[in-house]
Amino acid sequence: MPKNRKGRGWRQPWVRAWIVQGLVLLLLGVAIAYFGANLVQNLQRLQLPFGFDFLWSRSGPSIGETLIEYSPTDNIVRAFGVGLLNTLRVVILGMVLATFVGILVGMARLSENWLVRKLATIYVETLRNFPLLLQLLFWYLAIF
């Protein structure tokens, strides 16, 4: 028998760990079942449908910029797809622009020109020490 065992049965750390994990999973399952039953009961009491049938109803609002054809009479699934494509477009453009600016500023910080190096350092330190939310508000309100 190995000498590093600290007891037998439930006194061993790995056995206690399995027991605690099992109890946590059991409590999590009971909580999910309770809240799910509560949700179904309240939806039935209010006579609200339970499901995803609403996705095929008319979406209503218009979307300014779209990569695919969209009108306010289309269903919610199509509006979700248009929003997803718009988000992917912004993400890809943002990644390309951030990579380009990052490489440019990184090369400027390594420059032997004193002015270029100091301007790049000021740019990096200003953006680094400024909260992101304030940067977003600045760019949205002051620039655009």
Same domain, 76 and 138: yes
One domain, residues 104 and 142: yes
Task: Tell me how many domains the chain contains.
Answer: 2
84 contact partners, CB below 8 Å, separation of at least 6: none
Does 12 fall in a domain? yes
Question: Are residues 44 and 70 located together in one domain of the fold?
Answer: no
**Segment 126-144 mean pLDDT:** 87
- Would you state the pLDDT for residue 2? 55
Kindly report, residue by residue over 86-128, the tens digit of the pLDDT. 999 999 999 999 999 999 999 999 999 999 999 999 999 988 8
Give how far Cα 68 sits from Cα of 74, 75, 82, 93, Å. Answer: 12, 14, 7, 18
Cα separation, 15 vs 9, whole angstroms? 7
In a domain, 55, yes or no: no
Check whether 1 has a pLDDT greater than 80: no
**Do 30 and 92 fall into the same domain?**
no
- Identity (one letter) of the amino acid at 63? I
Residues 74 and 107 in one domain: yes
The encoded tokens of residue 50 equal 């339970």
89 and 42 both lie in a single domain: no
Domain that holds residue 134: 66-144
Residues 6+ apart with CB under 8 A from 120: 105, 108, 109, 111
Radius of gyration of the chain (CA): 28
Global pTM?
A: 0.62
- Render pLDDT for 3-62 as a digit per residue (tens, 0 to 9): 555 567 778 888 899 999 999 999 999 999 999 999 999 999 999 988 888 889 998 888
Separation of CA 142 from chain center: 27
pLDDT at 4: 56
What CA–CA distance (Å, rounded) separates 70 from 57?
A: 14
